[in-house]
Amino acid sequence: MGPSQAEHHIGVRQVNGMGEFHDKRTGDKFIPRGVNYVFVPLPNGITNKLLQVGIYDPQRTRDDFSALAVLGYNTARVFLDHCGSGPGCIGDEDNKGLNPEYLDNIADMMAAGRETGIYILFTSNDLPDQGGYAEEANFGSGGNFAGYRNSYYLRPNGITATRRYWRDLLTGLKERNAAFDAVLGWQLLNEQWMFVDQPPLSMTSGQIETTTGSYDVSDPEQKKKMVSDGLVYYIAQMKEEILTHDPTALVTMGFFVPEIVAPDWYVETSSLLQNSDLDFFDFHAYPGGPSFQDHAEHFGMVGYDDKPIVLGEYGAFRHIYTEIDSAARVISKWAAESCDYGFDGWLYWTYYPSDARAGDRTWGLTDEEGYLLNLFAPVNQPDPCEEVVIPNDNLAYGKPVTASRSLPAEPPQYAVDDNAGTQWGAGEGPVQWIQVDLQGSYRVTEVRLLVAQYPEGNTIHRLLVRVSGSDSFQTVHEFNGTTNDNNWLTFEPDTPLEYVTQIRIQTISSPSWVAWKEIQIYGEPIQ
């Protein structure tokens, strides 16, 4: 008889009616603080297949987990099956189950978590394409059920195939005497969603039979109930399978807000908060678009506190926050704001950055010699609900700003909010202007303007300043040439501009409505 299976250290409890994580050994509240450990560097690039046979590096894993632990981080979210098909991936190439060598790598990572004190939240991105699971889940689909996700969650074959996947995974790890005590939880899906434009969700008439009954899809409420009932059942089935092999485990699922991100995908979480067997929830939200309040309202979590909710993905997109200090400010504010809505843990996206070619790449914690990694480390920021004070050299940031005219949804302050995802828009073509009151007298050494323009074409923008004691503006520079959206226009005077109190940007000519994403002004105060 082999050694007994290790029990999980982290549990969920209610204190005064509020759900929270706790360490079952000490009774102390546990707050997940950590990262998504998704990408790793290779000699010739970056990969997200970090568990692939031949790529997985036991020593690097231990080094990275140790670096996190030293800084006070306690959690790493890891994708089980990013490597879903091909040599060395999770599904065996004989298409009959899981790859033993891949399971060895998962077990070794669990051992690394135990050794370093990092808890791992293992998430499944999807059923792997190898191993026979996807074929089983899709068998019999068609007609009223499109293959893939709409079948996976609503048809019996999807249930049996996914149960087999979790059974094979957990029994394989048990055979390896894996360190289950290093696992925070098992995440059924990274992000759960279904296709709105595929049957049965696209259908407007008829009765549909699913794993949970018959539904009239001509009735929008019946259709919504069909999905909710199906997911509640799916979750219960998977949790039953997981607890059969890992009795002390926590089970969760990840979600994002497609209504304001991907309108063709369907997600509804309000009913799951109330009715599902999930032990905690993992919601994903990124700054630079809809507000946190918009996210919280779409999740249906406003006022909800029965179970813990983790902000399992958040980060600063490099194409929106082009400077790392801007990224740091918005990340700190975003995490602090999440506390107002009841989040109980924070996992940044990501530790190592993704490939530079990725269009939605975020700043990695290790970028710029670990600037963000150290800034937000629990040893340096014990309370994530308190914003970190990060100096801003941009004199325009948050200063009073006025404009010749503005669209209601694109006010002038959006040009000085340190967020390239927003913009001031006049709503008309030239001539238009926007001006910033520096609220003091400054020696200006540089002005940077981020273009918001469609279509591209020839433009003329004049830069004007008002100095102390003057009632009028004077032109100090003219930008004249071809510009395009997201271009930076930069002016560095040969000698600093002295005693500047206000700066105006006046657009004389443009093929586009006049708009600016960011106005940045640099210099120093004059006493």
Q: What pTM did the predictor assign?
A: 0.90
Query: Could you give the CA distance from residue 268 to residue 264 in angstroms, rounded to a whole number?
Result: 13
CATH architecture of 10-375: Alpha-Beta Barrel (3.20)
Domain boundaries, the chain: 10-375, 401-525
- Name the token pair of 24: 């079952």
* pLDDT on residue 405: 97
* pLDDT on residue 2: 56
* pLDDT on residue 289: 82
* 153-172 confidence digits (pLDDT tens): 999 999 999 999 999 999 99
* pLDDT on residue 465: 97
Q: Does this chain's domain 10-375 share its CATH topology with 401-525? A: no
* pLDDT on residue 350: 95
* pLDDT on residue 328: 95
CA atoms within 13 A on the CB side of 374: 7
* Fold for the domain defined by 401-525: Jelly Rolls (2.60.120)
φ, ψ (nearest 5 deg) of residue 406: -150, 145
- Helix, strand, or coil (residue 86): coil
- Name the token pair of 389: 């004070």
Helical axes 58-70 vs 100-116, angle rounded to 10°: 30
What are the C-alpha distances in Å from 368 to residues 146, 353, 438, 472?
45, 11, 30, 43
* pLDDT on residue 514: 98
- Helix, strand, or coil (residue 84): coil
Residuewise pLDDT in 10s, the chain (527 residues): 457 889 999 999 999 999 999 999 999 999 999 999 999 999 989 999 999 999 999 999 999 999 999 999 999 999 999 999 999 999 988 888 999 999 999 999 999 999 999 999 999 999 999 999 999 999 989 889 999 999 999 999 999 999 999 999 999 999 999 999 999 999 999 999 999 999 999 999 999 999 999 999 999 999 999 999 999 999 999 999 999 999 999 999 999 987 777 788 999 999 999 999 999 999 999 998 888 999 999 999 999 999 999 999 999 999 888 889 999 999 999 999 999 999 999 999 999 999 888 878 999 999 999 999 999 999 999 999 999 988 889 999 999 999 999 999 999 999 999 888 889 999 999 999 999 999 999 999 999 999 999 999 999 999 999 999 999 999 999 999 999 998 999 999 999 999 999 999 999 999 999 999 999 999 999 97
* 6-18 confidence digits (pLDDT tens): 999 999 999 999 9
